[in-house]
Chain A
């Protein structure tokens, strides 16, 4: 009875059962995108796509343009050339509010939480787009506004339970250790119930145990909610373990794109990471 289970129940990352996950059509595609800051070319002519339901990793050495790429996707940067197609609609530039209202949410490399607010309030902030009642109603905190808040609080409590952060529910996030803040930020992104979740280095600065936990959360979100995930990560072990496809950038150019295995064997990727002797 146990043989097949053994393998699944190993490390947190290994629990990834691909069996009944459905990888669907293209959810978002980036076509020939170029981005320059003055004379500095951050991204040049990069194209790739993200399919519905997959975990897509963007990797590359420092300064390869990974974070810029995420910023282009959610509309924070506007590319000089190229187009972004999201949910079948082609745009030359994305706007942050469109990205957010269309179901793209993200976390940041250096955390962008409201430090003085509690975990609960931070995650509640992620529900802001879903609130129907206006400022006045909210201020009254009565009737429909109250029942709406209860509904959203319920959603938030489910996230708190999922991320196992009950014990810091009321704690101001600025005082929390880094690993927990990362978790709260993921919680806020999840609160938007996104179709596409962009994670900018979700495991940076974490210890092994925290990385395992984070991998487990990402896999479960992807697996159970069907959320598409695009992530930037430096820990190759994690990337190779959890992602379905990997795109590799170097100096703003795409040098490889494929499954973790393919990418790992690609000579250009090996050179980019290990350097070549000239």
Chain B
């Protein structure tokens, strides 16, 4: 491996925009792979030189179409090389890409497109084109839609839509006929500055309308470069791009870091084939929110339940070995010879095949963020030899605020400040930071900018946390969500919820307690895991609702919560937050119903309103409650789910000392 890291050389200072990085990569790493996409079952590869040609033709074509500097371009679709190129093509012309969540419904999309005043929409396929067409009249500023996949679009009005291919074709023709065209394009890139606006990313936001976070070229380029340095990424590293392109994480990882370090980005065939595609690619760098890791663990556990007895026994035994020795070995701490040997055998028999199954055979670094990850879940993956680490970041920071350095990984913390990042804790416990990634401002929302960003450049994260004695940041909860029970006990809902969600049977939990006498929770069961259990135990059910109300399922969840209460009793800070009552919701929380954000975070206040009768019942002691809820189906129609929900009282335990006494008996 002789590849060196691009950003370290002297020219780094002038490579301050992504289009400049593109030219640099095409020259220096011309024959190395830049993008991969699986089409018709085969991986197609574009080298950096080819990528440059594609983007060049695309940019010139867009310019011929009428795109001008300073105008905004919406980019909507699943992760596709052509859409990543659209970012760079627009930026090379001084235009500003605005990625939009591909699963948002037309109305949500209309808000973003109108607010950003987009002139062109570059979309993946018919589905997205239809959505944009349906709102184009309301948005009013859209001149043309440019699409990637022509299927089903042939009969549409060419005045409304053109294909990326035809745009590129026009660009190629112009480039061929007149050498001045290329020169003009290159001059345009050379004139770009680090302070130019590179992208507007709309945050899904847990409350209110989405805000458009404006990042500069420098934000993206420097953040990408620093992250590459932090984990020593080289052009040999490869990742798989599968998270929404409108999300800052994907933008920094698959675009910022990829261009800054000439890494290779692979795009899966379809959203349903990611697991398979990941196995084939074997990424060395992987990012996933905790939810994805949770699903992986659930799937492994479900499969192992169905495995033969010998396999199951081997799995259980070596998992125990891994739990004991895995993490110390990964961190380079001393481990006894016997355990080292057992771990080595386990690696051949169990861990290796498991990693291969998950597509982690070549993995060097994996990150998780977005939400706190259950410590047991986190340790599970690390004990298998997967270098999973946490980071803490947000859109306003171009992702990186803190990261866990290799060898200093503590599950309860989110790591140390990243390169060039400063953090401080405000009086009320809120975390503030300052970094090269700090956003410029919110698009057309100076009020929100002023609230978030202080005059001297500090940004309010909205999260409460503290720095521990090792210098690591610990996040407890959203600053505004941390509350107190009526008796003054600290109540951090997310902490409780995350502990619950680690149980494979529980998919989602909402804890309530601020200003109340005690803590209660609403539970969503995990249909994969509980459904599998039901199948094995001959429990017959027709719907989520029916399974959720099953007495045996209630009993199972009750056991889990009892376990948690026992465990909470041993933790001084949260012993008072033991769960007194719980219920299992009659429907799954869903982003389409507004209960979760598009990044699958719980929208607490919305849920409190929507399920107010249930919450009242949780506190007035009634054993059952009737509830009617409106739901939105995937095709946009609405319906009503009605249910009778049972509420269960839990036993709570006196703090710590009691546990000791019990043990002594």
Assuming the contacts A15-B152, A167-B270, A167-B276, asked whether A4 and B134 have C-beta atoms less than 8 A apart, the reply is no
A160 in contact with B41 (CB, 8 Å) = yes
Q: Choose one: B134, B155, B273; the contact of A166 (CB below 8 Å).
A: B273
Check if B133 sits within 8 Å of A6, measured CB to CB. yes
The yes or no answer to B269 lying at the interface (CB within 8 A) is yes
Contacting pair B133 A2 (CB below 8 A): yes
Closest CB-CB distance, A221 to chain B, in whole Å?
A: 12
Contacts of B157 in A (CB 8 A): 1, 4-5
Cβ 8 A contact of B134, one of A6, A15, A160: A6
Flag if A157 contacts B635 (CB, 8 Å): no
In the docked arrangement, what's the CA distance between A110 and B65, Å? 51
The majority secondary structure among interface residues of chain A is helix
Selected from A8, A169, A224, the residue in CB contact (under 8 A) with B41 is: A169
Instruction: Please indicate the chain B residues that have their CB under 8 angstroms from the CB of A212 in the complex.
Output: 635
Contact residues in B for A160 (Cβ distance below 8 Å): 40-41
**What's the Cα separation between A8 and B133 when bound, in Å?**
10
- Judge whether B137 and A19 touch: CB under 8 Å: no
Q: Per a CB cutoff under 8 Å, which of A4, A9, A19, A158 touches B40?
A: A158
Residues from chain A with Cβ under 8 Å of B151 in the complex:
162, 220
- How far apart are the CA atoms of A4 and B42 in the complex, in Å? 38
Is B130 positioned at the interface, with any CB of A under 8 Å from its CB?
A: yes
Contact of A9 among B133, B137, B270, B635 (CB under 8 A): B133
CB distance from B343 to the nearest CB of A (A): 32
Residues of B within 8 A of A220 (CB): 151-152
In B145-161, the 8 Å CB interface with A consists of 151-152, 154-157, 159-160
Asked if B130 and A9 sit within 8 Å, CB to CB, the answer is yes
B39 — which chain A residues lie within 8 A by C-beta? 161
Residues of A within 8 A of B129 (CB): 9
Query: Given A162-B151, A167-B273 in contact, is the A209-B41 Cβ separation under 8 Å?
Result: no
Q: Across the interface, which residues of A come within 8 angstroms of B156, CB to CB?
A: 5, 8
Q: Compute how far the CA of A6 lies from the CA of B156 in the bound complex, rounded to whole angstroms.
A: 11
Residues of chain B within 8 A (CB-CB) of A9 are 129-130, 133-134
Q: Which residues of B contact A6 (CB under 8 A)?
A: 133-134
Mask: chain A, 142-179; 1 = CB below 8 Å from B; 0 = not: 00000000000110011011101011011000000000
Interface pair B272/A161, CB less than 8 Å apart: no
Nearest Cβ in chain A — how far from B144, in angstroms?
A: 10
A-B pairs under 8 A by CB, number: 59
In the assembled complex, B136 has its CB within 8 A of some CB on chain A: yes
Are A2 and B136 in touch, CB under 8 angstroms? yes
Q: Counting CB contacts under 8 A, is A17 at the interface? A: yes
Nearest-CB residue, chain B, relative to A164: B270
Closest to A20 in B: B155
Q: Is B634 an interface residue (CB 8 A)?
A: yes
Cross-chain contact of A5 among B42, B133, B276, B635 (Cβ < 8 A)? B133
- B272 A17 Cβ-Cβ under 8 A: no
Q: Is A166 in contact with B41, judged by CB distance below 8 angstroms?
A: yes
Q: Distance (Å) between the CB of A55 and the closest chain B CB?
A: 16
Closest CB in chain A relative to B134 CB, distance in Å: 6
| B159 proximity list for chain A (CB < 8 A) | 1
Closest Cβ of chain A to B137, distance in Å, is 5
Closest Cβ–Cβ distance, residue A7 to chain B (whole Å): 11
Question: By the criterion CB–CB under 8 Å, are A166 and B269 in contact?
Answer: yes
Whether A161 pairs with B40 at a CB distance below 8 angstroms is yes
- Chain B residues with CB below 8 A from A17, complex form: 155
Q: Which of B323-339 contact A (CB under 8 A)?
A: none
- Which of B39, B41, B42 counts the most chain A CB atoms within 10 A? B41
| A186, B41: Cα distance in complex, Å | 19
Check: A254 CB closer than 8 A to any chain B CB.
Answer: no
With A1-B136, A224-B154 known as contacts, the answer to whether A166 contacts B634 (CB < 8 A) is no
Q: Which residues of B contact A20 (CB under 8 A)?
A: 155
Q: Which chain B residue lies CB-closest to A1? A: B160
**Contacts known (A2-B133, A8-B156, A162-B151); A167 close to B272, Cβ less than 8 A:** yes
Please give, as numbers and ranges, the residues of chain A lying within 8 Å of B272 by CB-CB distance: 166-167
8 A Cβ contacts from A1-58 to B? 1-2, 4-6, 8-9, 15, 17, 19-20
**What are the residues of chain B within 8 A of A170 when measuring CB–CB?**
276
Could you tell me the distance in whole angstroms from the C-beta of B151 to the nearest C-beta in chain A?
A: 7
User: Considering only CB atoms, which chain A residue lies closest to B272 in the complex?
Assistant: A167
Question: Which residues of chain B have C-beta atoms less than 8 A from A8's C-beta?
Answer: 155-156
Contacts of B42 in A (CB 8 A): 157
B346-381 interface mask toward A, CB cutoff 8 Å, 1 = contact, 0 = none?
000000000000000000000000000000000000
Question: Nearest B residue to A3 by beta-carbon distance?
Answer: B137
**10 extra interchain contacts, Cβ-Cβ under 8 A, other than A6-B133, A167-B273?**
A1-B157, A5-B156, A5-B157, A8-B156, A9-B129, A157-B42, A158-B40, A161-B40, A166-B273, A216-B152
A to B CB contacts below 8 Å, 30 in the list = A1-B137, A2-B133, A2-B136, A2-B160, A4-B157, A5-B157, A5-B160, A6-B134, A8-B155, A8-B156, A9-B129, A9-B130, A9-B133, A9-B134, A17-B155, A19-B155, A157-B40, A157-B41, A157-B42, A158-B40, A161-B39, A162-B151, A164-B270, A166-B41, A166-B269, A167-B273, A209-B635, A220-B152, A223-B155, A224-B154
Q: Which 6 A-B pairs have the closest CB atoms?
A: A167-B272, A157-B40, A9-B130, A2-B137, A157-B41, A167-B273
